Amino acid sequence: MHKLLTNLFFIVIISFHFISCKEDIDPAKQAELNRNKIIQEAPIKNQYEIEKPKDNLPENIKAFSGQWVGKWNDVIPSQLVIVSINQSEASFIYSWGANQHKGIESGIIKETTKLDERGRIKYVKDDLSLTFTVDTLLNKVIGVSIKGDVVSNIVMEKVR
């Protein structure tokens, strides 16, 4: 019995040591570090100012305003900045980072495009189609990219 209690005491002491040595992980700090890494990997070097949307816009359109970051299929870092938006169109800057494993070079698109009937941003050029919509409950931008036969998805978090 004495040996059992000694072993149990030893296990408790070692467990306490490992728990106390473990770094405290702050989820908010980690999320900020992840967002900053995406911003560095998919930079926008152009100067821009985000225009405040009109108050009378529907929430699903007004909520687009700002800077958003995420990764396509959890791989390709991307930024979407909605510079201005109104009932019918959005001006945006969109950048993505390189991925040499997938043969993707970094790039940037600066464009004004019409919103579709559901208030989504749709950009189509050549064989690339990008569609972005706001999930107002989660405060996230959801995107779908179609390039040729390849379909990718992204969930973006608001930076500002």
**pLDDT for position 158:** 95
Distance, CA of 83 to CA of 48 (rounded, Å): 7
**35-87 residue pLDDT tens:** 889 989 999 988 899 999 999 999 999 999 999 999 999 999 999 999 999 99
Within 8 A by CB and 6+ apart from 14, the residues are: none
Cα 119 to Cα 52, 58, 72, 139, distances in angstroms: 17, 9, 21, 15
Q: What is the largest CA-CA distance in the chain?
A: 78
Distance, CA of 159 to CA of 85 (rounded, Å): 17
Distance, CA of 59 to CA of 47 (rounded, Å): 27
% of residues, the chain, pLDDT over 90 = 66
Distance, CA of 116 to CA of 149 (rounded, Å): 23
Burial per residue of 109-129, b for 16 or more beta-carbon CB atoms within 10 angstroms, e otherwise: eeeebebeeebbbbbeeeeee
More confident residue, 32 or 51: 51
Residue 2: pLDDT band (50, 70, 90) is low
**92-138 residue pLDDT tens:** 999 999 888 878 899 999 999 999 999 999 999 999 999 999 999 99
List the structure tokens of 62.
Answer: 């007004």
Beta carbons of 58 and 75 less than 8 angstroms apart: no
**pLDDT for position 10:** 54
User: Can you list the domains of the chain with their CATH numbers?
Assistant: 44-158 (2.40.128)
**pLDDT for position 4:** 52
pTM greater than 0.85 (yes/no): no
